[in-house]
């Protein structure tokens, strides 16, 4: 029974979970598009004088600007970096008490390093993009 669990848990996490996440996000976007189309069609049926193009523009999802994207990237980078560092620190503290086996601690450190790398990558992207945007905003002298 334990061997079966050792096979099914990684399979569920590595295969089923990503497929489920993609399916849910795709399904939600399809449902929201159908709902948006229904609202536009009902509005046109109830009031034929409404311009369909204007109505479609009103129901178009809002686009994020560069500052919002950069703010999210900074937030994600900070959170992931702090979580990665705290995971590594927690693993070192736990190892000093000898509460877990070395394999468990290595797995915890490995996962914390992955989270830390994601955070550092997001922060590097944020700072590079900020530098790139600030260089583009300066007037170019001829």
Residues 101, 140 share a domain: yes
The pLDDT profile of the chain, 142 residues, written as one tens digit per residue, is 678 777 887 777 788 888 899 999 999 999 988 988 888 888 888 887 877 777 777 777 777 788 888 899 999 999 999 999 999 999 888 888 877 778 888 888 999 999 999 999 999 999 998 888 777 765 545 4
Q: Determine the pLDDT at residue 142.
A: 44
Q: Determine the pLDDT at residue 137.
A: 64
Where would I find the H helices in 47-65? 52-58
Q: Determine the pLDDT at residue 138.
A: 57
Residues 124, 82 share a domain: yes
- The tally of CA atoms less than 13 A away on the side-chain side of residue 73 is 18
Residues 124, 80 share a domain: yes
Residues 79, 43 share a domain: no
User: Rounded to an integer, what distance in angstroms lies between the CA atom of residue 87 and that of residue 83?
Assistant: 6
Last-in-domain residue among 61, 88, 107: 61
DSSP 63: P
Long-range contacts of 106-113 (CB under 8 A, 24+ apart): 111/87, 112/83, 112/84, 112/85, 112/86, 112/87, 112/88, 113/84, 113/88
Residues 47, 74 share a domain: no
Q: List, in order, residues 6 or more apart from 78 with CB less than 8 Å away.
A: 119, 123
Q: Is the pTM of this model over 0.75?
A: no
Residues 16, 81 share a domain: no
User: Rounded to an integer, what distance in angstroms lies between the CA atom of residue 80 and that of residue 117?
Assistant: 8
Burial label, 127 (beta-carbon count in 10 A; 0-12, 13-18, 19+): middle
Residues 37, 20 share a domain: yes
Residues 8, 48 share a domain: yes
Residues 98, 45 share a domain: no
Domain ranges, residue 90:
63-142
Residues 55, 71 share a domain: no
Residues 82, 33 share a domain: no
Residues 118, 142 share a domain: yes
Last-in-domain residue among 61, 95, 111: 61
């Amino acid at each position: 029974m334990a061997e079966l669990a050792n096979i099914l848990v990684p399979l569920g996490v590595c295969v089923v979970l990503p497929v489920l996440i993609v399916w849910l996000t795709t399904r939600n976007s399809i449902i929201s598009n159908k709902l948006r189309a229904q609202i536009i069609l009902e509005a046109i049926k109830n009031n034929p004088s409404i311009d369909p193009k204007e109505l479609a523009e009103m129901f178009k999802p809002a686009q994020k600007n560069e500052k919002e994207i950069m703010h999210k990237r900074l937030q994600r980078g900070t959170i992931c970096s702090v979580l990665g560092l705290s995971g590594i620190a927690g693993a070192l503290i736990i190892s000093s008490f000898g509460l877990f086996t070395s394999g468990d601690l290595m797995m915890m450190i490995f996962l914390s390093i992955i989270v830390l790398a994601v955070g550092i990558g997001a922060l590097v992207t944020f700072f590079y993009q900020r530098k790139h945007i600030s260089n583009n905003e300066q007037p170019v002298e001829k």
